[in-house]
Amino acid sequence: MFSAVSPFVLGASTDTMISNEAELVVAVDNAPSGASIVIAFDRDITLTNPLDIPEGKDITLTSLGVSKGVF
What's the pTM? 0.72
Mean pLDDT in the chain? 80
Q: How confident is the model at residue 64 (pLDDT cuts 50, 70, 90)?
A: confident
Taking alpha carbons only, the member of 11, 51, 2, 3 closest to residue 27 is: 51
- Torsions phi, psi of 9, nearest 5? -65, -35
pLDDT at res. 63: 86
| 14: Cβ contacts below 8 Å, ≥ 6 apart | 7, 38, 39, 40, 62
pLDDT at 10 over 60: no
Query: What residue ranges do the domains of the chain occupy?
Result: 7-63
